[in-house]
Structure 1
Amino acid sequence: MTDYPTESLAAHPPYLFPDYVATRLRAPSRPLVIIPQTLTEIAGPVFGQAHVRPGDSDLTRQHAGTPLGERIMVRGRVLDENSRPVPDTLIEIWQANAAGRYVHVVDRHDAPLDPNFTGAGRAVTDSDGWYEFVTIRPGCYPVPGLNNVWRPAHIHMSLFGPSFLTRLVTQMYFPGDPLFPYDPIFMSVPDERARMRMVSSLDMAMTRSEWALCYRFDIVLRGREASLFEEPHHD
């Protein structure tokens, strides 16, 4: 078994974080049972460029019209613990529109839907681990049932490796958001340095003049500099 360098578990959020109200119901009340992978999971389907249609990564061109809001690019690399690129990784994103509203039946936020923006896209990393999306900067939105709690602008990201059981989920935030200290999900990560690994950086070198700003967001799968994922951690 490979001994990967690991970060202290103190960097990860606890299963139960009372300020993040949903964890009061979701947090396990008994010790977790780790189920080892079998050959079926290890030898699962392999994703490739053929699984992504042309235009899937451009969320601004999926409908007849142009969506409202600030057009942006989100670009980065998927890397392993030794900064080596991880190719052929399927990345799926979903997000709110510019008004802070999701296209979902349970989202009853009093904000308009955009008929030209669905808020979902997918891409596959190239041989150097790069991915790129064109989208609209999402708006912040209130958390239902909580008094004056708002989520900062963010984009959800899901990564698939060689099988359906190797899915990782994280969130990308935007630099300088004043809502960070008030977001129970962001603040559930106790280590400030680890929290900042969920924040993208403005990449002026890749920004396209008079068209769209670019935000860089690298994803590290494991090791001391690993991105924060919504995954079990061992106690």
Structure 2
Amino acid sequence: MSDPIAYRRPAPGTQPPLDLPAYGSTHKRHPKQPLIRVPNTLTETSAPHFDPAHYPVQADMSQVGGRAALGERIIVAGRVTDEDGRPLRGAMVEVWQANASGRYHHPRDQHDAPLDPNFEGRARLFTDAEGRYSFVSIKPGAYPWRNHANAWRPIHIHFGLHGTGFGQRMITQMYFPGDPLLPLDPIFNSTADEAARNRLVSTFDLDITRPEWALGYRFDIVLRGPAATPFENTP
């Protein structure tokens, strides 16, 4: 048996705070008292077991029933690793996003942008033996969100990564290079460290791009350590 790996905390400023004055809703939902560490039981550390047999893979958001969604088709791919570059194998990755018009396929989204019957905006996939993942989608649109005057969210895709227990879910967002809304967005800028913040921005990748079909973007995710990807639920 290999020696256990010592936990290395993220470097200061590389993870967003739970309460951010510029991000209005954090005032209502962040903890008001110091966090209490609750010991994990066997159930919490070993269950549930996520696998493709019980959670079917859905890795193409660009069509529904063979009918193509409206918008620019894209491919997003990358690796999920720990701080030493070791792959996270067999991890379930959930993805959700707005459509090309900037509207989510959800009843609570009342933005007056059009819905697309051929775009549901959600995917589920698993990393391979090298920690790699890939899915097809439509490039999402920006949308207003009423956080402040004339507030618009940059185009982004949400990621939820699941481990082997209920307490092992990490949530983050992927942004696109060159988006003029990034400097104005309080969620993106909630990570104080610029290098860490830029780890949330995908990179255009010609090797992922499929000729005459879709542009490709790379988004690698590091789960912990000083160079970890910023996550929304890190205390």
**TM-score, normalising length: structure 2:** 0.94
Match of 1:38 among 17, 36, 41: 41
Question: Aligned residue for 2:83?
Answer: 81
C-alpha distance after superposition, 1:73-114 (max 9, x if no partner): 000111111101111100000000000000112211120000
Amino acid at match of 1:189: T
Unpaired segments ≥5 residues, structure 2: none
Write the letter of the residue equivalent to 1:41.
E
What's the counterpart of residue 181 of structure 2? 179
SS in 2 for 1:35: coil
Aligned alpha-carbon RMSD (Å): 1.5
What is the CA deviation profile of residues 2-37 of structure 1, one whole-angstrom value per residue up to 9, with x for unaligned ones?
Answer: 423333232222222111011111122111112121
Which residue does 1:14 correspond to in 2? 17
Aligned partner of 1:216 among 215, 218, 221: 218
The separation in 2 between residues aligned to 1:218 and 1:16, in whole angstroms, is 26
* Counterpart amino acid of residue 82 in structure 1: D
Q: Secondary structure at the match of 1:50?
A: coil
Residue 169 (structure 1) aligns with: 171
Separation in structure 2 between the aligned mates of residue 7 and residue 69 of structure 1, nearest angstrom: 37
Query: Could you tell me how far apart the structure 2 residues matched to 1:184 and 1:145 are?
Result: 9
Checking the alignment, whether the CA contact within 8 Å between 1:77 and 1:217 is kept in structure 2 is: yes
SS at match of 2:161: strand
Distance 1:146 1:105 in 2: 23
User: 2 CA distance for matches of 1:143 and 1:49?
Assistant: 35
2:20 partner letter: F
CA distance in 1, matches of 2:7, 2:228: 11
SS in 2 for 1:169: strand
Q: Secondary structure at the match of 2:67?
A: coil
Asked if structure 2 preserves the Cα contact closer than 8 Å seen for 1:52 and 1:124, the reply is no
Deviations 1:41-99, CA, capped at 9 Å, x for gaps = 11213222323435x10011333421000000000111111101111100000000000
Q: Any conservation in 2 of the 1:63–1:117 contact (CA below 8 Å)?
A: no
Q: Equivalent pairs: percent with the same residue?
A: 51
Please say if residues 74 and 139 of structure 2, whose CA atoms lie closer than 8 Å, have aligned partners that are also in contact. yes
TM-score (norm 1): 0.94
> Letter of the aligned partner of 1:211 in structure 2?
W
- Is the 1:86–1:125 Cα contact (8 Å) retained in structure 2? yes
Q: 1:138 aligns with which of 120, 137, 140?
A: 140
Rounded Cα–Cα distance in structure 2 between residues aligned with 1:119 and 1:188:
25
Change (3 A) 1:180 1:145: closer
Q: Show the 5 A alignment for 1:223-234.
A: 223-233=225-235
